[in-house]
């Protein structure tokens, strides 16, 4: 008989296989979609509509086509071969190679969790095997042999005309595993009541299913694919119900649940979304919807989105990787935070905390002195400073000001309070403050990191991690033709964002260049410092060893070869009456 520890490792490994192969596995099997067989009270669902179709669509994306490029495919094949070798030991246990395992999913794959009274959460996996039915049965046979050796008690029961195999007493915690096959689909579950509910819905019974759940339906309506095509991946989460089920019998969880109304979090009705590849003009499309109760309260009232201009400021450099801008009512947001904080810690608690931590060291109240000076627009972007190092990513945050002169005076006052920490500098006639080298030396955890700086520039409070980025901002301010707003790729994405938002006003807009993000990784992989780290890690980590060997035998092609597959993308957040709708897309490069 296997030891309990040995069984546990094998049991977890087989579960991992059933979950992992879903990522690569059209479905003509006689079964309703997963949402129409899952119980209505399901709290978590991740579903791939068609595994082979998902793989095909991904290979049609920029990254997929890049992996098939003649100059890169030898490296990709080498890495895949190395992965196959790493999992080769599984072949002796399950009788299949990695490619055979990945070929098993031939239709829908779904993982779900369902609350069960007095038992917590039950797990459920549904896998359509189709033409790979024989291999799927072989996989289950080997898993069942492992379960038999573990000492688990095996029984069988007929449920709605389907033979269900039941293993009980598994592992130290005496777990249960149920299995059945129906219409070329394989189902694994950890609770009989869940199996019964699934089979009843499968045959068109009267059992209520997740598909009819109001929150699930509302989220899915808002996250459908484009061009009359459903998304390839959908997901749904009821976080509050999941916490309740997982925390049955836990005093700590019950205390947390009792606080939810005070925090306003009981208004969170569900979160879900979808993912699609190769759809029309888009390489990929990710949608997320947060369904909220109306009116909002507590922490959700902190979401004080505003409206205003979203065109990039004329001083934003053209070479940014990511750009995000939005409008925010800081005073309203602070009042909401204060209300929630004081309701938990007592009247005046937040004001006292701010006074202790900020007002006393600075010499003024930041809430009353700074918040009224903020106009509301917030902008964030990042870029890469060269030569490339692990600290090359430069970040910048900008806050639009109502009274730039007043804020400049506050910065001068702060600098006067900390003369050894902050140094006044100037570039092109523009003053700014920078963290001193002496201050950095007092932080031994980051001696090589760049020195952050801040300033008032063009009616914005600028905070950045790299002084060099601030210099480029100042330079771009006098050359608007070199700004992001003048870039053709930004204009293209902005047009697509406008079309998607339609008559709805976006609370947040974003732009990104995946090729520039890849360029950073590319240059890092080519750096001698990175290669030395790979070689050091390769001595004890087989993954790093495989990557180092692949790069040695198949050097990366010129970056231009990779860049031509990637197109820019955009994102937006729409604050609707019923919740928050986030969309993120990448355009398709022809």
Confidence band, pLDDT 50/70/90 cuts, at residue 251: confident
Q: What's the mean pLDDT in 318-331? A: 95
Residue 20 has pLDDT above 50, yes or no: no
Element (H, E) at 45: strand 44-48
User: What is the band of 119 on the pLDDT scale with cuts at 50, 70, 90?
Assistant: confident
Q: Which residues contact 92 (CB under 8 A, 6 or more apart)?
A: none
Distances (CA, A) of 515 to 130, 283, 398, 553, 557: 38, 14, 24, 24, 15
Residue 14 has pLDDT above 60, yes or no: no
pLDDT in tens, 303-315: 999 888 889 999 9
Residue 287: the pLDDT is 96
Residue 8 above 90 pLDDT? no
pLDDT of residue 447 exceeding 80: no
Contact predicate 414/362, CB 8 Å: yes
**How far, CA to CA in Å, does 351 sit from each of 331, 342, 370, 372?**
14, 9, 15, 16
pLDDT value for 29: 46
Quick one: pLDDT band at residue 18, thresholds 50, 70, 90?
very low
Calculate Rg over the CA atoms of the chain: 28
What is the structure's pLDDT at 50? 93
pLDDT computed for residue 319 by the predictor: 92
Q: What distance in Å separates the CA atoms of residue 526 and residue 509, rounded to the nearest whole number?
A: 33
Per-residue pLDDT tens over the stretch 195-225:
999 999 998 888 899 999 999 999 999 998 6
Mean pLDDT lowest among 34-38, 70-74, 266-270, 389-393: 389-393
Mean pLDDT of the chain: 87
DSSP string, 510-525: EEE-HHHHHHHHHHHH
From CA 72, how far away is CA 55, in angstroms rounded?
A: 19
- What distance in Å separates the CA atoms of residue 225 and residue 223, rounded to the nearest whole number? 7
Strands 185-189 and 282-292: what pairing? unpaired
Model-level pTM? 0.88
Q: At a CB cut-off of 8 Å and minimum separation 6, what does 467 contact?
A: 425, 432, 434, 450, 451, 453
Of 58-72, 268-282, 499-513, minimum mean pLDDT range:
499-513
Backbone angles phi and psi of 230, in degrees to 5? -70, 155
The per-residue pLDDT for 270 is: 96
Ranges 129-133, 229-233, 538-542: which has the least confidence: 538-542
**pLDDT band for position 440 (50/70/90)?**
low
Give the tens place of pLDDT for each residue, 132-181.
888 888 888 888 888 888 778 889 999 999 999 999 888 777 889 999 99
**Least confidently predicted of 17-21, 236-240, 422-426:** 17-21
The mean per-residue pLDDT over the stretch 450-472 comes to 94
Give the model's pLDDT for residue 448.
Answer: 62
The mean per-residue pLDDT over the stretch 444-466 comes to: 84
Phi (first) and psi of residue 373, to 5 degrees: -90, -5
Condensed to tens digits (0 to 9), the pLDDT of residues 531-587 reads 888 788 877 887 778 888 888 888 889 999 999 999 999 999 999 999 999 999 999
Nearest to 336 by CA among 350, 354, 324, 320: 350
Confidence band, pLDDT 50/70/90 cuts, at residue 10: very low
pLDDT above 60 for 13? no
Least confident of 233-247, 434-448, 564-578: 434-448
Other CB atoms within a 10 A radius of the CB of residue 45 amount to 22
**For the chain, percent of residues with pLDDT exceeding 90:** 56
Angle at alpha carbon of residue 233, lines to 230 and 236, rounded to 5°: 105
Give the pLDDT mean for 444-469. 85
> Are 586 and 87 within 8 A, CB to CB?
no
Residue 27 has pLDDT above 50, yes or no: no
More confident residue, 119 or 239: 239
Candidates 204, 209, 197, 196; CA nearest to 36 is 209
More confident residue, 356 or 261: 356
Non-local CB neighbours of 233 within 8 Å, separated by 6+ positions: 46, 47, 48, 49, 54, 274, 275, 276
pLDDT value of position 164: 94
* Omega within 30 of 0 (cis) for the link into 543: no
Give the model's pLDDT for residue 315.
96
Q: What is the 3-state secondary structure (H, E, C) of 378-437?
A: EEEEEEECCCCCCCCEEEEEEEEECCHHHHHHHHHHHHHHCCCCEEEEEECCEEEEEECH
The pLDDT confidence band at residue 30, using thresholds 50, 70 and 90, is low
**Residues forming a β-bridge with 393:** 384
């Amino acid at each position: 008989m296997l030891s309990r520890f040995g069984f546990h490792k094998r049991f977890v490994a087989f579960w991992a296989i059933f979950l992992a192969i879903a990522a690569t596995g059209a479905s003509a099997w006689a079964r309703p979609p997963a949402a129409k067989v899952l119980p209505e009270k399901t709290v978590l669902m991740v579903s791939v509509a068609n595994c082979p179709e998902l793989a095909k669509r991904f290979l049609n994306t920029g990254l997929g086509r890049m992996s098939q490029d003649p100059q890169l495919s030898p490296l990709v094949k080498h890495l895949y071969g190395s992965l196959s070798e790493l999992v080769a030991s599984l072949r002796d246990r399950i009788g299949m190679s990695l490619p055979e395992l990945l070929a098993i999913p031939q239709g829908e794959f779904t993982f779900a969790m369902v609350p069960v009274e007095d038992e917590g959460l039950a797990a459920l996996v549904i896998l359509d095997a189709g033409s790979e039915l024989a291999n799927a049965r072989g996989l289950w046979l080997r898993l069942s042999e492992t379960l038999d050796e573990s000492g688990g008690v095996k029984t069988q029961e007929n449920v709605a005309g389907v033979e269900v195999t039941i293993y009980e007493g598994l592992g130290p915690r005496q777990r249960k595993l149920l299995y059945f096959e129906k219409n070329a689909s394989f189902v694994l579950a950890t609770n009989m009541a869940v199996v019964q509910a699934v089979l009843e819905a499968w045959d068109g019974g009267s059992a209520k299913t997740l598909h009819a759940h109001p929150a699930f339906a509302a989220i899915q309506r808002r996250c459908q694919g484009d061009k009359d095509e459903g998304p390839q991946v959908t997901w749904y989460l009821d976080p509050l119900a999941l916490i309740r089920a997982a925390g049955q019998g836990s005093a700590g969880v019950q205390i947390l649940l009792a606080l939810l109304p005070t925090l306003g979090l009981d208004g969170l009705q569900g979160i879900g979304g979808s993912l699609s590849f190769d759809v029309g003009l888009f390489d990929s499309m990710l949608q997320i919807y947060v369904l909220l109760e109306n009116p909002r309260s507590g922490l959700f009232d902190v979401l004080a989105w505003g409206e205003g201009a979203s065109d990039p400021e004329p001083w934003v450099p053209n070479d940014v990787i990511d750009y995000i801008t939005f409008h925010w009512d800081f005073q309203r947001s602070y009042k909401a935070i204060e209300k929630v904080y004081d309701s938990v810690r007592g009247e005046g608690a937040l004001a006292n905390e701010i006074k202790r931590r900020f007002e006393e060291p600075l010499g003024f109240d930041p809430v009353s002195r700074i918040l009224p000076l903020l106009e509301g627009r917030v902008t964030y972007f990042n870029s890469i400073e060269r030569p490339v190092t692990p600290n090359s990513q430069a970040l910048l945050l900008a806050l639009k000001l109502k009274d730039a002169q007043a804020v400049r005076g506050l910065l001068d006052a702060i600098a006067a309070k900390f003369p050894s920490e902050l140094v006044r500098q100037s570039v092109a006639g523009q003053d700014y403050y920078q963290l001193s080298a002496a201050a950095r030396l007092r932080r031994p955890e980051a001696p090589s990191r760049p020195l952050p700086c801040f300033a008032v520039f063009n009616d914005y409070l600028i905070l950045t991690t790299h002084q060099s980025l601030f210099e480029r901002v100042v330079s771009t301010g006098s050359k608007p033709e070199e700004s992001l707003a003048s870039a053709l790729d930004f204009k293209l994405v902005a047009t697509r964002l406008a079309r998607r938002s339609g008559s709805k006003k976006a609370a947040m807009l974003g732009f990104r260049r995946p090729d520039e993000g890849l360029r950073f990784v590319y240059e890092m992989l080519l750096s001698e410092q990175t290669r030395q780290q790979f070689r050091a890690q390769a001595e004890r980590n087989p993954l790093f060893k495989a990557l180092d060997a692949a790069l040695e035998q198949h050097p990366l092609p010129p970056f231009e070869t990779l860049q031509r597959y990637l197109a820019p993308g955009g994102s937006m957040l729409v604050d609707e009456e019923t919740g928050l709708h986030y969309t993120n897309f990448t355009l398709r490069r022809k």
